[in-house]
Amino acid sequence: MAPKYYSLLLFLLVFTQACKVENKKEDGNLKKEAYTKLQGKVFGTTYNIIYKSTEDFQAPINVIFEDFNNSLSTYIPTSLISRVNQNDTTVVVDDYFEEAFDKAKRLYEETDGYFDPTIGKLINAYGFGSGKEKNNLTAEEIETLMKITGFDKMALERRKVIKAPEMEFNVNAYAKGLGIDVVGRFLESKSINDYLVEIGGEIRARGKSPRNTLWKVAIDDPNTDGSRSQSRYINLDNQSMATSGNYRKFKINEKGEKIVHTVNPKTGLAQENNLLSASVLMQGDCADVDAYATAFMAMGLEKTKLFLEKHPKLKVVLIYTDEKGTIAEFAN
């Protein structure tokens, strides 16, 4: 799975704690609560998994990651999604693909098309994807690429994808979140209710941390000089959280124009707006907040606020520049 370009990385404050902690008294004696921590690399980034159990689930989780990649990675030529995009009509998709497709359909409709997993070729053309970059896209080239986008033009029937040959389905904008959800569900199937799964800055947290408190995370400040600092902290109460932004990952083309990695599905343009980053929380799947964060970056600040009025289940931290150019924050 390709690395998504995050502007804000979430640092887990519990990671410096020992895997075994003593935090509960029982019958006058101190009871040990054992947590296991797994770390590694996957989807082109790093992962951290902490859960309340002494059992080592590294092997089955590795299998999950491998199966997930073989289904949805656009960087593996033989994956199901790559074969679909190569117009292999013999492909019968699996459960991972079907869930990704169904979520995309719901989120595409819910966001009025601001979340659109068919803009992969545009992202490639701007140089932020797995395909070939085009330098200084012309208006005509953008218009041509826009004609082959629009998730409403695709369908999934009896586990087979129906699409125009030139169209591409790309789940990189929310695949990490979906992978996190799959691992979280696996842990829950083992009767583990206290855990945190983090991949590339996206998080699904349930229950309590080794400190016997809610899981606490910090959000990076929007520093444009490459430095890193944190001044915002959030407790996750059985929530998932994802962040997207434009201030760190961008390009300057030959014309001196700033090209950001978030492409607006409505216009096909990769232009910066006043919204620097969007962190989204909800008591649900990480794939959902991953997709919402991407959509909000395309919407911009004001449209995002209007969307949130109709979707109060979503909690956000929006960092933006006001009319004076000052960095400001909106949180609901």
**Lowest mean pLDDT segment, chosen from 19-33, 92-106, 144-158:** 19-33
pLDDT of 35 over the 60 cut:
yes
The pLDDT of 68-86, averaged and rounded, is 96
CA-atom Rg of the chain in angstroms: 20
Residue 138 confidence (pLDDT): 85
Q: What single-letter amino acid sits at 227?
A: S
The Cα-based distances of 144 to 114, 167, 292 in angstroms read: 19, 12, 26
The answer for residues whose C-beta is within 8 angstroms of residue 327's C-beta and 6 or more apart is 222, 276, 319, 320, 321
The pLDDT of 99-117, averaged and rounded, is 97
In 3D space, the residue among 229, 207, 205, 329 whose CA is nearest the CA of residue 279 turns out to be 329
Rounded distance, CA 328 to CA 322, Å? Answer: 6
pLDDT of 188 over the 80 cut:
yes
The pLDDT of 177-195, averaged and rounded, is 98
pLDDT of 156 over the 90 cut:
yes
Residue 223 confidence (pLDDT): 58
Q: Which two tokens stand for residue 253?
A: 């083309």
Residue 278 confidence (pLDDT): 92
Reported pTM: 0.86
Q: What's the gap between Cα 15 and its chain centre? A: 21
**Lowest mean pLDDT segment, chosen from 21-30, 141-150, 162-171, 196-205:** 21-30
Better-predicted residue by pLDDT, 42 or 5: 42
Share of the chain above pLDDT 70, in %: 79
Q: What's the gap between Cα 142 and its chain centre? A: 25
In 3D space, the residue among 179, 163, 182 whose CA is nearest the CA of residue 83 turns out to be 163
The pLDDT of 298-321, averaged and rounded, is 94
In 3D space, the residue among 196, 209, 182 whose CA is nearest the CA of residue 62 turns out to be 182
**Could you tell me the domains of the chain?**
10-331 (3.10.520.10)
Better-predicted residue by pLDDT, 9 or 55: 55
Chain segment 254-268, per-residue pLDDT in tens:
665 555 567 889 998
In 3D space, the residue among 1, 102, 8, 44 whose CA is nearest the CA of residue 297 turns out to be 8
Rounded distance, CA 217 to CA 199, Å? Answer: 14
